[in-house]
Amino acid sequence: MASDLLSIGSSGVLAQQKLLYTTGNNISNVNTQGYTRQRTDLYTNTASLGVGMSNTQRLLNNYSQREMWRDTSGVQMYQTAYQQLNSTDQFLSSDANSLNPALSSYFSALDTVNESPNSTGTRQTLMGAMQDLVNRFNTASSTLTQQQTGINSNIESEVKSVNQLLGGISDLNQQILKAPKNSDGTSLNLMDQRDEMIRQLAEKMDIRTVAQDNGTTLVNLSSGESLVLANGAASVSVTTGDPDTTQTGLQVQIGSSKASIATDNLGGKLGGYYQARDNLAPVQREVGQLALALADAMNQQNSKGMTPNSTLGGDLFTLPSSTGLPSSKNTGTGAIQVSVIPGQGSNLTPNDFQVEFSSSTNYQVYMMQDGKKVSVSSGSTPPNQLQLSSYGIQLDFSGTPNAGDTMLLQPTKNAASGLGLAISSTDEIALAAPVTGSASSSNYGSGKISLAGVYNTGTGSGISSSSLASSAPQQVKINSSGDYEVYDGSGTLIGTAPASTKGQNLFANLLDSSGSKVYSNVQTTPGFDFNVSGTVKANDTFSIAFNTGGVNDNFNGLALSGLQSQDLVRKGTATGSGATQSFSEAFSSTMASLGSTVSGLNTGYSAADAKLTQSTQTLNSESGVSLDEEASNLIRFQQAYAASAQIITAARSVFDTLLSAAR
């Protein structure tokens, strides 16, 4: 036996020292981020007596750790998306920025003007309310744009730190490979550092890890792309959106091979940013759709009225048009301008469109709906204009496209920021009806004539800018059978409305001598209609004229204000009855859908956070430092150390005794 008491004692002292080092390391790292509790196991000496080898290891459950990383990605994803969308929600929910209060005060001002159409003061108030409405649309849209720009720059800075982390993880993997095994635990600290970096990477995106036998860890994206490999790291970069440059994407590059990354299920902060951006786009398009539908309806109605200057009204708002975005792969020079077909604002949908050219003249139009392409039309140029009236837009083609070229059309995306006020004077608000009727003072009957409606003042209508066309109905005369004869400006009989109509909607019921309708559609020609009510007698006459000087009329003003309760905004791509909603309902439903996204994210965040807390606790329960435990260990190891030291003392006294015995 080659063992002696001294070496037994010294092996014990050294071993207890090691235990004390480990305990000390644990105590001092109690607050270190990512630190894993270490434990030193001692083994008996197999060759002789005394303590043999010691092994220091991390107390870690790999499964819990991976779960914690996954949950970290989830929490970060929900939190980031929630924070981004919640700020939009707060912005649009506040009374100072919400569109509904501006809509209400606009229509209130309109109603007040209708009470005194000839007052400049109330007209000024109305114009102020219009400007405020325009400003709110502009602000809402530009805030949404800014937010998306902000998200894009956040994505870029996140991608920078992702690359740093990837490099760091790869470096640490190399150091771990080189570090001596079974030493004082230095390599264990390296692993802790690496794992902390992986956790930080999990904050940015959802990842999967593969632990190698040599102590290194490989990292993949949850969708499979390699990020950290055995011999190096990939780099992630932001790619410019195509054709919409603001829709940036991600790609991963290893050596010279590149692959783009799907951003819709990325997880982590990056995934949160992409989710927020994907949710902001429809909000912005819906706000744009509302702006266009409102402005178009107002413009149409204003053009059916007469201004205080006794001329027909024009546009109240300017509707922006947008330019189709060409794909970067396009080789031709084709370009498309998209604008709203006047009067078709209620057919607009909050969708983007794509045009694909199969040759320089043939094209196919698709609507982008829930990420899918739905074919809506096809055609060829010339003509250089395509009207998609079921979607309210018209496309103006120019240039020469090549086969395979594509264009992205965004009729609504930036519409709300391009909305403007078209009028510069309160005199351009057309509150009066452009035509008026009156009973002749020599009438024997007591009938009254009243305007039934003005439907069209443009092409086909009998109303020109400040007068009635001579071909338009200008006189109604009751004949001996009580029928209503209608004459034009030169006194020629246009047709007769039978007495059975009781004078209601005269022109719609006008029959010619052969008994067929004179006006197939009064909505177009003559574009207006009159009612004669009350008792009429033969030879009573009623004249119809341009309402020159009718400054105190509010016929069209009431129609303008009536748009408030009309359903003029399409619900998505719905068709048929009930497919449209009022302006304020449209904004409410936009807010409701944004709100439910935000609320869903908040719920998701709470759930993910609870899950992370739980998995962190499971992990910490095993890997965390307990000071109480370490205190007790400290006492225990101290005592063992002292005892081992006593063995050396005993060995010495034994040796001394032996020496003195031999003396």
- ∠ Cα 627 629 632 (to 5°): 105
The answer to the question of residue 506 lying near other proteins (CB under 8 A) is no
φ, ψ of residue 430 to 5 degrees: the values are: -95, 100
How far is residue 26's CA from residue 562's CA, in Å, rounded to a whole number? 76
- Nearer to other proteins by Cβ, of 312 and 601: the residue is 601
- State the nearest-atom distance from the C-beta of 108 to other proteins, in Å: 5
- State the nearest-atom distance from the C-beta of 456 to other proteins, in Å: 20
The answer to the question of residue 593 lying near other proteins (CB under 8 A) is yes
Are the C-beta atoms of residues 40 and 53 closer than 8 Å to each other? Answer: no
Q: Which of 127, 144, 409, 439 binds other proteins (CB under 8 A)?
A: 439
- Nearer to other proteins by Cβ, of 328 and 438: the residue is 438
The stretch near other proteins (CB under 8 A) out of 38-46, 207-215, 380-388, 531-539 is 531-539
- Nearer to other proteins by Cβ, of 517 and 571: the residue is 571
Q: Which of 46, 257, 441, 500 binds other proteins (CB under 8 A)?
A: 441
The 8-class DSSP code of residue 425 comes to S
Q: How far is CA 333 from CA 141, 402, 406, 407, in A?
A: 30, 8, 11, 11
CB burial string 557-572: b at 16+ within 10 A, e below:
bebbbebbeebbbbbb
- Site residue total, other proteins (CB under 8 A): 91
Q: Which of 555, 605, 637, 641 binds other proteins (CB under 8 A)?
A: 555
- State the nearest-atom distance from the C-beta of 505 to other proteins, in Å: 18
Q: Which of 205, 594, 608, 647 binds other proteins (CB under 8 A)?
A: 594
Nearest Cα to 567, choosing from 550, 590, 584?
584
Q: How far is CA 242 from CA 141, 158, 273, 337, 354, in A?
A: 22, 21, 19, 18, 12
Q: How far is CA 590 from CA 135, 275, 302, 319, 575, in A?
A: 19, 17, 27, 21, 18
Q: Which of 44, 260, 385, 565 binds other proteins (CB under 8 A)?
A: 565
How far is residue 186's CA from residue 225's CA, in Å, rounded to a whole number? 31
Strand boundaries in 296-334, DSSP class E: 317-318, 322-323, 325-326
Residue 522, token pair as written in the block? 């009064």
Q: Which of 566, 579, 599, 611 binds other proteins (CB under 8 A)?
A: 599
φ, ψ of residue 298 to 5 degrees: the values are: -65, -45
| Residues 194-213 contacting other proteins, CB under 8 A | none
- Nearer to other proteins by Cβ, of 308 and 392: the residue is 308
- Nearer to other proteins by Cβ, of 161 and 589: the residue is 589
- State the nearest-atom distance from the C-beta of 435 to other proteins, in Å: 10
Q: Which of 146, 260, 552, 649 binds other proteins (CB under 8 A)?
A: 552
| Residues 55-74 contacting other proteins, CB under 8 A | none
CB burial string 150-164: b at 16+ within 10 A, e below:
ebbebbeebbeebbe
The residue count of the chain comes to: 663
Nearest Cα to 483, choosing from 473, 463, 497?
497
- Nearer to other proteins by Cβ, of 120 and 359: the residue is 120
Q: Which of 93, 337, 362, 471 binds other proteins (CB under 8 A)?
A: 93
How far is residue 282's CA from residue 77's CA, in Å, rounded to a whole number? 20
- State the nearest-atom distance from the C-beta of 558 to other proteins, in Å: 6
- ∠ Cα 612 616 617 (to 5°): 120
The stretch near other proteins (CB under 8 A) out of 16-24, 324-332, 359-367, 631-639 is 631-639
- Nearer to other proteins by Cβ, of 8 and 619: the residue is 619
The answer to the question of residue 438 lying near other proteins (CB under 8 A) is yes
| Residues 403-432 contacting other proteins, CB under 8 A | 432
The answer to the question of residue 658 lying near other proteins (CB under 8 A) is no
| Residues 3-42 contacting other proteins, CB under 8 A | 30-31, 37
- Nearer to other proteins by Cβ, of 273 and 391: the residue is 273
| Residues 98-137 contacting other proteins, CB under 8 A | 98, 100-101, 103-105, 107-108, 111-112, 114-119
Q: Which of 214, 444, 607, 643 binds other proteins (CB under 8 A)?
A: 444
